[in-house]
Structure 1
């Protein structure tokens, strides 16, 4: 027992140290886990032969991951992606298998072995790719969605591969195994419900198992979860979620299907369940821990002895495989019109071999399809390709994405063929409303935005706008900044906003500048830069929502209007004092103890003002309101009490 505790402690220590360091250096958690495995395995030797056993256990993290992925997919969404699933995924597996097989045949490898290698290398790593997509928020991109379609098809394709590979067994390997292992008859086999069944019976059993998952998930899961939830014990709900996943995985294994596919199907069935989020939150910690453990075992399982003997061959095979798969994927990206940086994300994310490659290679050795020595080399190729994959994501983030962003900014700015009274820089969700308000009142505007897609959207609804960076002096000149009365700065970048305000107030001091601030601190910066009028983007909408909240709580609309005006008046008056405190701070932090003290005093002033009775002092905006009748609060309390009595009496 002590040995298990020590091994668990070693794995956890390695993860706790390596993963945060990898994240800090921008390498991603997957590479951190892989490095941790290499250190505690081949480098230091703290773990040894038990790694393969732990890896089989940790592969259950992939099963859980696909269950969680299924929970995110409604059946209609899965049906909508059927063309990419079958077309893109099918072509990727088929073309990669053929390409790898052709190269293997060129090196005089027997056709059955060449075909098997092609099938193994056609698969990619679902665990690494989806984990990285989740961390980097790439799953919703065009490249991410297409990559997921391919991964899903690959996971499904494992089933026919497992059925087909035994047919490729080599007679000489079978004879050799029978001679080498005299006790083979006593060899323990996994429990199976389909062993020895004829083909028609096998098909019926598989159909029944899938039907059980679908029907049970749809009709039986809800009563079960309601019963468990009624206990109020979170740990029992967690146990139920684990029971569901483990039970489905066991059922799929008993009938010779992929556990990952079965749990994915169950997740899709439960995607519309009201318990979906609770299931996901309970499974997610186990999934993350087991996936991390799986990645560590991949790193720890790299045999540096075999790697050192055939270093050139293994590195050449690994890099050649990744290049070949990337080329096939780029070709498919062109055919399926995956453009720009998405095609590179699609190609680079799937350019490795996958965790199911270990399963298939072990399966091929057991079924005498590939010699043990070759399988060991191929396993190293699979492991190294997975190890190098985080580097491809870093290449995508640091090189490819900036190049495409730079390319979009280098597009020639539109020729501005008119001028107006007001120039609006930035027409996102904020600037659009300003522009609509002005043009509705007959004010001529010139609209600029640096996002091509935003300009195209505005043009599609007949709002004339121009693509260009408003911080460029030549573009401002063409837009008529010398003759304009106002410049409205509504850009979505605080630094660019400040830069533009400074330039215009220094160069064209006559032009009034109205700027959007992102928060109080940014408002102070814009004030010091010379902006004439500043609006914090959420200030007024937040006040209006507070007004609605007070009305919903039973406050009279007249009183609410008073409180709103009081809040705005004190906030405006105090903002000048707070701005001066902000300017006087020499610590560089801008929000020192003096500022914080003044801010607390502001809050106390607002509270005191709200408690005052202002019924005899109406602001101009309040004179159209009818004050609440005398005793309004008592009437409101009586009505609330009456409603409570009515509810109690049914």
Structure 2
């Protein structure tokens, strides 16, 4: 029977990882360094070569690789298929040249250092690959993933992920060179490639025709935790399928994200996955840090330093030249090369396989793994140093060349796609503006699809959903939901997290209008106010009053109403310490003095009017002089 100690046995390592992250990352961020470097150093400190708080880093890495998987899923969500097609030249051309030339150069240096041809080939390929997690994290921190050089760097990383199945199939052939086993290898390679292609096609078909109805059904159930579970199921399930057919798990997750990039649920999925992605990715970086053998580094520090520096410099030089060849400026080429310089996480897969096949001896394998880990440790430092140097040489500090936005023209974010939001979008789209809309009602999303609006499933009261939908980059956020509490919550979130973004708010009534004004919204309108004024103007015209006079009367009512609203706000009518006072002072009152008193047509109505008059007397007693003057229409402040 399991004891309480057995149940608690997983807590010490979990607390160790959390403590290392909480202490290490803020320190390095305060020093102006990347969070990646903080995670890596934290891993070194708690690992076997440091304080030995964690003695088996391999166990942590098997779990932490899920962080890379979720990272690629989110990248896939942000990359539409049309954009992926537009990158085909960089993926196939630049990616092939980068991997081929870097592997040849680094393998050739290995031959000069005395390695056997097989070992030099495997080590050259392993070091030519780049760290997807490190590169994407650096681009994300720079907010340059959508910049031209960021897109080229991503294309290279994508090609490397695609090439893994071919590289793993190539290693046995290298090991069997001269044994006459080429034909057997060719058959196995063709079988593996066919299985991989079939799996990819199967995932594409299921994703294309099954995922949207699946998530629509779950969203209609109203169980948000099930949506999170379903998102994880899709990501991890696709990753497992791809791993089983020889592709990488990261490639499978990227494919799942790509299939959902056009989905109405993409922002909600991104918000649900983001917390898991961040924690597991940090764990991955710490596991890499734990794999660095400080004793081995100390024993061979001169050779390791020279090999690491040479590997980074060779990759930077070749990648920068290739970026320039494909149209980037030298500045962008250097920045792209800096993020691609560290060896990739696949080095920790290829090098052990090379050892098992007898291509690399144990000592050379340990040194190669150490070089790969140290490049991942020094890579973020080099990228930060390059940014610093370039910033000092420039006339002004470097700014991100591009924001990571799904559409550079999405200047407006509309929260809520009900009756009000629908009409608002008609106006915005009539002007040719691109608008992002989020709503948590599946029926509203289905209706919007018929109009061609860009509407996504998500809860606008969640900060992560707002951020994922681009709230930080929108010029105006229009809040058009009919839930009064939710409306004010969204206003508070936007003002706290995105202070430079303007807020335009649809409010329910006079009380909520004052609440919105107290929060300094840029514009607010009561949902029925303008339509009622238009209705009243039409009624006046129907009674024979000229259009000009009717328009003047309506404009006068609008000004009087605004004046009263301003006075009520200034008088703090929403005093929470006196609910009765608040209730009495915010009630519908005539803006123009009535010509006669109200008359009841039956006994029931007489009772109601009598109670109303008694309440009105109490209200008049509580009124401030300024508000009383406005009610009598004696003076109307300039609106």
Alignment TM-score > 0.5, same fold: yes
SS in structure 1 at match of 2:354: helix
Task: Indicate the residue corresponding to 2:375 in structure 1.
Answer: 385
Between 278-287 and 338-347, the greater mean CA deviation after superposition: 338-347
Superimposed CA distance per residue, residues 539-559 of structure 1 (whole angstroms, 9 cap, x where no aligned partner): 9xx998446978446455443
**In the alignment, is the contact (CA less than 8 A) between 1:543 and 1:564 conserved in 2?**
no
| Aligned residue among 376, 394, 406 for 2:384 | 394
Task: Indicate the residue corresponding to 1:318 in structure 2.
Answer: 308
Kindly state the Cα deviation for residue 226 of structure 1 after the two structures are TM-superposed. 2.3
CA RMSD of aligned residues (A): 3.7
CA distance in 2, matches of 1:607, 1:45: 75
Task: Indicate the residue corresponding to 1:92 in structure 2.
Answer: 98
CA gap of 1:72–1:607, structure 2 versus 1, over 3 A, is farther
Task: Indicate the residue corresponding to 2:364 in structure 1.
Answer: 374
Task: Indicate the residue corresponding to 1:415 in structure 2.
Answer: none
Task: Indicate the residue corresponding to 1:309 in structure 2.
Answer: 299
| Aligned residue among 335, 348, 351 for 2:325 | 335
| Aligned residue among 215, 219, 223 for 1:229 | 219
**In the alignment, is the contact (CA less than 8 A) between 2:321 and 2:333 conserved in 1?**
no
1:45-84 matched pairs, under 5 angstroms: 45-48=52-55, 50-84=56-90
| Aligned residue among 40, 46, 50 for 1:43 | 50
Task: Indicate the residue corresponding to 1:140 in structure 2.
Answer: 146
**In the alignment, is the contact (CA less than 8 A) between 1:352 and 1:385 conserved in 2?**
yes
CA gap of 1:563–1:404, structure 2 versus 1, over 3 A, is farther
CA gap of 1:10–1:559, structure 2 versus 1, over 3 A, is same
- Residue correspondences, number: 442
1:317-466 matched pairs, under 5 angstroms: 317-339=307-329, 341-406=331-396
Unaligned ranges ≥5, structure 1: 174-194, 410-428, 430-538, 573-604, 622-650
Report whether the alignment pairs 1:612 with 2:630. yes
Task: Indicate the residue corresponding to 2:117 in structure 1.
Answer: 111
Superimposed CA distance per residue, residues 497-530 of structure 1 (whole angstroms, 9 cap, x where no aligned partner): xxxxxxxxxxxxxxxxxxxxxxxxxxxxxxxxxx
Superimposed CA distance per residue, residues 230-251 of structure 1 (whole angstroms, 9 cap, x where no aligned partner): 3322222211111111211111
| Aligned residue among 160, 184, 193 for 2:166 | 160
Kindly state the Cα deviation for residue 569 of structure 1 after the two structures are TM-superposed. 11
TM, length-normalised to structure 2: 0.63
CA gap of 1:277–1:66, structure 2 versus 1, over 3 A, is same
CA distance in 1, matches of 2:22, 2:558: 53
Between 208-217 and 555-564, the greater mean CA deviation after superposition: 555-564
1:126-137 matched pairs, under 5 angstroms: 126-137=132-143
1:400-549 matched pairs, under 5 angstroms: 400-406=390-396, 545-546=523-524
Task: Indicate the residue corresponding to 2:131 in structure 1.
Answer: 125
CA distance in 1, matches of 2:628, 2:227: 47
CA gap of 1:214–1:614, structure 2 versus 1, over 3 A, is farther
CA distance in 2, matches of 1:162, 1:35: 30
TM, length-normalised to structure 1: 0.62
**In the alignment, is the contact (CA less than 8 A) between 1:547 and 1:560 conserved in 2?**
no
CA distance in 2, matches of 1:358, 1:606: 76
CA distance in 1, matches of 2:223, 2:529: 38
CA gap of 1:116–1:201, structure 2 versus 1, over 3 A, is closer
Task: Indicate the residue corresponding to 1:257 in structure 2.
Answer: 247
CA gap of 1:610–1:131, structure 2 versus 1, over 3 A, is farther
Kindly state the Cα deviation for residue 608 of structure 1 after the two structures are TM-superposed. 6.2
Between 360-369 and 310-319, the greater mean CA deviation after superposition: 360-369
CA distance in 2, matches of 1:355, 1:326: 18
**In the alignment, is the contact (CA less than 8 A) between 1:166 and 1:369 conserved in 2?**
no
Superimposed CA distance per residue, residues 121-145 of structure 1 (whole angstroms, 9 cap, x where no aligned partner): 1111110111122223122222222
CA gap of 1:197–1:328, structure 2 versus 1, over 3 A, is closer
Kindly state the Cα deviation for residue 29 of structure 1 after the two structures are TM-superposed. 1.4
**In the alignment, is the contact (CA less than 8 A) between 1:141 and 1:342 conserved in 2?**
no
**In the alignment, is the contact (CA less than 8 A) between 1:340 and 1:404 conserved in 2?**
no
| Aligned residue among 552, 556, 559 for 2:557 | 559
**In the alignment, is the contact (CA less than 8 A) between 1:551 and 1:560 conserved in 2?**
no
Task: Indicate the residue corresponding to 1:14 in structure 2.
Answer: 20
**In the alignment, is the contact (CA less than 8 A) between 2:567 and 2:626 conserved in 1?**
no
Between 559-568 and 265-274, the greater mean CA deviation after superposition: 559-568
CA distance in 2, matches of 1:75, 1:298: 32
